[in-house]
Structure 1
């Protein structure tokens, strides 16, 4: 029994020694702290509004025996014949134009929702395709910073594809543009 008592006392002594060592290890060292101030900010911008100044109009043609393509340049507004034998016989031509108004010096970028649409003959089912929409401003830039008055003007051109022996008539359609505000 003496051996058991001695072993028990040794076990208690060791446990007491270990327990007395743990509080020193578990006590946190004093922390160094520093405080810094940070600013907060938010900007509420004027809502972006967009108005249409003019439509994309290709003018009047007489269809030829071959497919013909015409392009209105978004930057210059000039229409050129790319190929084919259709003949331009006058009428108004214009690039589409839109003006965005918002917070001065904010960025506003124009995007198209589709790159190809069919315009349909009024009173019929015949179509012509308009595609390759070209978006930009006078410098050809799609992404713009609104000026000091909070405005920017965007232009849209495109390519009209007239089919060989295209049915005569007035062809109409529409396209969408989006101006994203940053």
Structure 2
């Protein structure tokens, strides 16, 4: 009987070992299906429609004046001393007003608008500068229409300058870079 018991234990051990080996072999690999997606946007583009123009300003005899071009509607105003003339800048013939832009790209998408806080305009034929403080009408925008269609949006950039008794007479010009990017 002891012999039969040893045989039974040995058989049971062999069966357990074979089952363990079979289970280990069954878990050698595993698979799962994975999906993949992509959304393709048309390129974002920016077109300048009009430049920022402060028009013609008469410097004050005393003190200073701040000329403001409204970022939302392009209207021009003066606080302090000096005067505004109702003529455009003789250098560019542009009427006073804000810079305006059109953005085109993928419909329904948001984008960011970046302009520098300031830049300098330099007097033609001289080295004198007038600093321009820029103000965009928004820092973000939303393109019209829906995903899969072309979309567009517009915005403006206004600004302000200070003219004082020491401002040299003449035409001033300068430029700044406006950037848009998908969010």
> TM-score scaled to structure 1, two decimals?
0.73
User: How far apart, CA to CA, are the structure 2 residues paired with 1:156 and 1:127?
Assistant: 20
User: How far apart, CA to CA, are the structure 1 residues paired with 2:49 and 2:158?
Assistant: 14
User: How far apart, CA to CA, are the structure 2 residues paired with 1:156 and 1:39?
Assistant: 44
Corresponding position of 1:142: 139
CA contact (8 A) 1:128 1:163 kept: no
Q: Would you say 1:160 and 2:156 are equivalent positions?
A: no
1:138-172 CA deviation, whole Å, 9 max, x = no partner? xxx32111002410111001111213231110000
Corresponding position of 2:83: 87
CA contact (8 A) 1:61 1:86 kept: yes
Corresponding position of 1:98: 101
Within the candidate set 108, 115, 124, 2:126 is matched to 124
Task: Give the alignment's Cα RMSD to 1 decimal.
Answer: 2.8
1:36 Cα deviation after fit:
6.4
- Matched position secondary structure for 2:106: coil
Corresponding position of 1:63: 59
1:87-127 CA deviation, whole Å, 9 max, x = no partner? 11122211001101111111122111x21111011111111
How many residues align? The count is 155
CA contact (8 A) 1:110 1:142 kept: yes
- Matched position secondary structure for 1:46: coil
User: How far apart, CA to CA, are the structure 1 residues paired with 2:120 and 2:82?
Assistant: 18
Corresponding position of 1:77: 74
User: How far apart, CA to CA, are the structure 1 residues paired with 2:141 and 2:131?
Assistant: 29
User: How far apart, CA to CA, are the structure 1 residues paired with 2:86 and 2:162?
Assistant: 17
Corresponding position of 1:179: 180
Structure label with greater radius of gyration: 1
User: How far apart, CA to CA, are the structure 2 residues paired with 1:153 and 1:162?
Assistant: 30
What residue ranges of structure 2 are gaps of 5+ in the alignment? 1-12, 88-94
